[in-house]
Amino acid sequence: MRIAFWSSWLLLISLSIGLALSLADFRTATHYASAPLLLEPGTQLTLETERLLPGRPQLSLTFQRPPPDYDQPDPVLGNWQNSQHAGFLRFRTPGEPIRLKVEHDGRHAIYRAMPVSSHGSGEVTREFTPDEPSASPTDFQWPPLASPLTLGAGNLHLKITVVEVGPGLRGETATLGLEPGLQMKVTDADYGWLWLLFIVKPALQLLLALYAMVMLAWSWRRGRTWWRGRAGAVKAS
């Protein structure tokens, strides 16, 4: 019985440490970095983030807007309605241009904004793709080009510079976001089983808490039995 008791405690401690380390990695892997960005040519900011594994940057700009009206596309932010061609998408309303220069670790690349691709309550989002200087403003390569920049693991600092912005957006402040390497819908295969924590994290925490409660109850009962036995031995002597 003693061996089973201490083995159970050892297992609980091991599982707790393993879950704590996994949750720490999960927090780093899902870290979303964002900062307000004034849309004026020449504006600069430094975006700080952390990554668990190396990967390519996925940038987006979020604007405070009502949900888009697909019957009357916003010519400033654009609309995702498009026609697919060999190797690229042609958008009817691509939105006004936004180009950003991203610098990291001595390298840089230019990214341009695609039309609005998602929206939430009171906000819409334009994602970025590597720039194609020779492409028409309405055309975007599809699937998108691979990002020329690779972000390392650990704490990172990205220097962002606004290169170009259309007149309808100049002077506006939007939220620049850098997507995490590990996401619910899209993730890199290098993260392996860590993605499962999106689904099983609450269940694992609950099971471990129940396990701990059982062990505490077991410990209390053993302690009470031990004290009773000791008290009986003292009386007998």
CB 144 within 8 A of CB 76: no
In a domain, 195, yes or no: yes
What order of strands is seen across the sheet that includes strand 59-64? Answer: 33-38, 173-178, 59-64, 123-130, 107-120, 98-104, 154-165, 44-51
Over residues 55-86, the pLDDT tens digits come to 889 999 999 887 666 556 688 998 888 888 88
What is residue 183's predicted lDDT score, i.e. its pLDDT? Answer: 86
57-85: burial string, b at 16+ Cβ within 10 Å, e else: bbbbbbbebeebeeeebbebbbbbebeee
Q: Are residues 23 and 116 in the same domain?
A: no
Structure tokens, 62: 């979020």
In a domain, 97, yes or no: yes
Average of per-residue pLDDT values in the chain: 87
Q: What angle do CA 159, 114, 124 make, to 5 degrees?
A: 90
Structure tokens, 25: 């990695």
Q: Are residues 68 and 170 in the same domain?
A: yes
Q: Are residues 6 and 82 in the same domain?
A: no
What is residue 226's predicted lDDT score, i.e. its pLDDT? Answer: 65
Domain hosting residue 24, numbered range: 1-30+191-222
In a domain, 174, yes or no: yes
What is residue 213's predicted lDDT score, i.e. its pLDDT? Answer: 94
In a domain, 233, yes or no: no
Q: Are residues 41 and 135 in the same domain?
A: yes
Number of domains in the chain: 2
Per-residue pLDDT, averaged over 160-173, amounts to: 95
pLDDT tier at 210 (50, 70, 90 boundaries)?
very high
Nearest in space to 63 (alpha carbons), one of 95, 111, 110, 100: 95
Structure tokens, 83: 């026609």
CATH number of the domain enclosing 58: 2.60.120
Per-residue pLDDT, averaged over 6-16, amounts to: 92
> Who contacts 16 (Cβ-Cβ below 8 Å, separation ≥6)?
208, 212
